[in-house]
Amino acid sequence: MNNAIRRQLLAWQIGALLITAALVSLVTYALAWNAFNRVRDFTLEQVAYTVVRHGVVTDSEDALEDRGQFLSQIWDADGELIFTSDPDIDLPQQPNGLHVLNWRGSEWHTYTLRERGLTIQVANTTANRQAMFARIVPWLILPMGLLIALLAAGIWFAVGRALRPLTALRDEIGQREPDKLLPLATHDLPEELRPLAEALNELLGRLDATFRLQRQFIADAAHELRTPLAAVRLQAQLVQQASSPAEREAGLAQLMAGVDRAAHLVQQLLDLARHDPRTNTEPVAAVDLCALARATVTDFSAMAEAAGIDLGLGLCEATVIQGRARALRVLLNNLVDNALRHCPPGSRVDVEVQRHAEATSLIVRDNGPGIPSVEHARVFDRFYRLPGTATPGSGLGLAIVREIAQHHGGRVLLADTPGGGLTVRVELPPAAAGTMPLDNTQPT
């Protein structure tokens, strides 16, 4: 893959090595060529002084005969050329010292010395120097090539060794079974990998907790559904065995009540799953809480009238907040439904919306039996029902309410209603999309 870490590391490191080697080679070449020229210039000077010390020897074994490497010339005091190592080259006489000149299309380096009535000039061409230097260059490049090869191999090995813990971590994760979400060991990991492993451990912990909650939820749901379904089956058998129309009617009534209880439980299970923050996809939009409260009271008015309960809309300070309308409707439905189910005939249930600087509150207040303060924390647990409660229910209503409230950044508070009963207050963050004029609706 194009974005492999190993490939990128090797490409960058070996690329940097090659660029560095090329720059070093250029600098080395320039320095070596400069030093070579200085050595050759010094050699010209030494040859000239050798002639001064030992005189002119013209036999074939003369030390001055350079066999093509140097041009040696000697003039007497009258300026007459008395010796040249190559008669075909009549290089002009130069002032004392080192000089560089272009003559007949070639660049020459000369050293001229005047002493004892003689003028000695020793010279060679730049082309000759380059040819000699070219024989040295491979010996300059060879060590650099070996060094590059050794460093490249070392980089390859070092990158592989450095990435070995990442490969081991990948293998360990790949070998995990779906039901084994134990944390990864981090004490032997490099510092760069430890944050990744710790983040994975946090994710594994959350997944494990989610799976455990899911398994518990499925087990609890199956257990809770088993009872109403068994009752429905029993009631259906009783209807089959009824010997009179009156018994059949009574059995059918009980059967319908059992079906209603099962349907209510299934609906609450669906609500709980649908409004889980991890799966809820309903968009956030402006929600008019007072309109929501009115609609809820209207929807439950028939149920309240049938139960002999006075359901009304109390103080309603209309406020628009940012939230999920369907979820908030489910929250308020569960609160009102709970109140109507547990309050005896003749009770009163009020729904209110109050706006404060720090929060907006949805309130459902009743004067029913209430909930003992010692049970306030436990009633939010899924499938928990108060001991001794005879009213049919699933124990999911307040759990759903808390789930939705927390997903909106709010909280649920339980308190005793003055004079008896229960007051449930859902505190939500302040209005985010503006407020509307006060609704002066009075309690009914």
How far apart (Å, rounded) are the C-alpha atoms in residues 287 and 284? 9
- According to the model, what pLDDT value does residue 113 have? 92
320 and 368, same domain (yes or no) = yes
| Last residue in a domain, options 93, 122, 137 | 137
pLDDT score, position 220? 59
Residue 238, H or E segment: helix 194-241
CATH number at residue 48: 3.30.450
Phi, psi at 188, each rounded to 5°: -100, 5
Q: Assess if residue 62 is contained within a domain.
A: yes
Domain holding 80, by residue range, is: 5-137
**CB-based contacts of 86, cutoff 8 Å, min separation 6:** 71
Contact by Cβ (8 Å): 65, 56: no
Structural domain contains residue 338: yes
Q: How would you class 162 by CB atoms within 10 Å of its CB: exposed for 0-12, middle for 13-18, buried for 19 or more?
A: middle
Alpha-carbon distance of 72 to 31, in angstroms, equals 28
Q: How far apart are CA 275 and CA 302, in angstroms?
A: 27
Tell me, what's the pLDDT at 62?
42
164 domain residue, yes or no: no
**Residue-wise pLDDT tens digits, 136-148:** 888 878 888 888 8
pLDDT for the residue numbered 86? 85
Q: Which residues of the chain have pLDDT under 50?
A: 1, 58-67, 431-444
The C-alpha atoms of residue 241 and residue 252 are separated, in whole angstroms, by: 12
User: Can you give the pLDDT at residue 208?
Assistant: 77
Number of domains in the chain: 3
Determine the Cα–Cα distance for residues 65 and 131; give it in Å rounded to an integer.
19
Residue 108 has a pLDDT of: 93
> Are residues 292 and 268 part of one domain?
no
Please report, for the domain that includes residue 216, its CATH number: 1.10.287.130
For residue 383, what pLDDT is reported?
A: 67
Verify that 286 and 416 share a domain, yes or no: yes
In this prediction, residue 267 carries a pLDDT of: 66
DSSP per-residue string spanning 37-63: HHHHHHHHHHHHHHHHHH----STT-T
